[in-house]
Structure 1
Amino acid sequence: MTNNMHVETRLPRNGKEGIIFLLIISIISVNTIAPIIMGLERGFSNEVYLQTLKIIPFMWVVVVLLVNFVADPLVGKVMPKFIGKTDGFNAKVLLNTLLHVTFLSILLTIIGHGLVPNK
């Protein structure tokens, strides 16, 4: 008789690993996405990049809070509607990532629109 229980070892398995993973991903995302968006909006220059660096700590906190208190609960409610018991790891991770990115993109667009003054 085979045991169908599969312990997932590819994702963070405890709180410490989860925090480390969140820090790495969020720091990479905020330090990549914010400068690119600001550069596209205002032009790529050292001055624009330095202005971006000033807002990054604030946005990093906002992103971490949004992930934990808004996106995770929303994704947790939506995921069961699309994922079945027989779906594989890759399908679950792909949908989870797609839903997180979609929700965060919508939320951060709304927040960013409120922060950037009209021209």
Structure 2
Amino acid sequence: MHAETRLPRNGKEGILFGLIVSILSVNTIAPVITGLELGFSKAVYWNTLKIIPFMWIIVLLSVRFLAGPIVGRVLPRFLKPTDGFAVRVLMTIVLNVTVLSLWMSIIGTWVGMREISLHPFQNFLHIWPRNFGVAFWIEMLFAQPIARWGMKMLHARQDRQALRAVRSDS
């Protein structure tokens, strides 16, 4: 997978990839889910924008300390060495979105309501499938493709620079 131009090749690129995905995801998933819950209006949207910085930090920490370790352990059980790029990406997205949507259906509700209550547990069977669906499709069709395109462009630029350096040394 290291030769794959659509994925990060090192830690710095991994951070960049994660930032792109998280910024796109939080700025789309939170407003859509909030709109579905409370109705789509300017007031609801502006209130959602106020909590997005907190949600972004929670999502980054959740990916790093919750979803990442869980998915890292579970993913190899679903994949074979012969599985291609698309299967690996799909399974990674499904598992990450499953873990994060389960967690964020509770934590996100608390942050959005600005109180810890039983509401997310009482309505879990209603809110989690919807939250999973919203997050899954935004990740599949929007956030992940843009982040992979960004990696591909970064690697193309790096390859051009390396080629120029080789030509100038010749």
* TM over 0.5, shorter chain: yes
User: Could you tell me how far apart the structure 2 residues matched to 1:19 and 1:87 are?
Assistant: 25
Task: Please name the residue that 1:91 is paired with.
Answer: 87
Task: Please name the residue that 2:136 is paired with.
Answer: none
Structure 1 runs of 4+ off > 4 angstroms? Answer: none
Segment drifting more, 7-16 vs 94-103 = 7-16
- What are the residue-to-residue correspondences of 1:4-83 with 2, within 5 Å? 7-83=3-79
TM-score after normalising by structure 1: 0.86
Change (3 A) 1:42 1:78: same
Task: Please name the residue that 1:105 is paired with.
Answer: 101
User: Could you tell me how far apart the structure 2 residues matched to 1:88 and 1:103 are?
Assistant: 23
When the two chains are superposed, the root-mean-square deviation of aligned CA atoms in Å is: 1.8
Change (3 A) 1:6 1:36: closer
Task: Please name the residue that 2:131 is paired with.
Answer: none
- Structure 1 residues without counterparts, runs of 5 or longer: none
Give 1:113 deviation, angstroms.
3.6
- Structure 2 residues without counterparts, runs of 5 or longer: 120-170
TM-score after normalising by structure 2: 0.62
User: Could you tell me how far apart the structure 1 residues matched to 2:2 and 2:108 are?
Assistant: 41
User: Could you tell me how far apart the structure 2 residues matched to 1:27 and 1:6 are?
Assistant: 24
> Relative contact order: is structure 1 or structure 2 higher (C-alpha 8 Å, sep ≥ 6)?
2
User: Could you tell me how far apart the structure 2 residues matched to 1:6 and 1:15 are?
Assistant: 12
The answer (yes or no) to whether the contact 2:55–2:108 under 8 Å persists in 1 is: no
Change (3 A) 1:113 1:49: closer
User: Could you tell me how far apart the structure 2 residues matched to 1:74 and 1:45 are?
Assistant: 36
Give 1:6 deviation, angstroms.
6.9
Segment drifting more, 82-91 vs 54-63 = 82-91
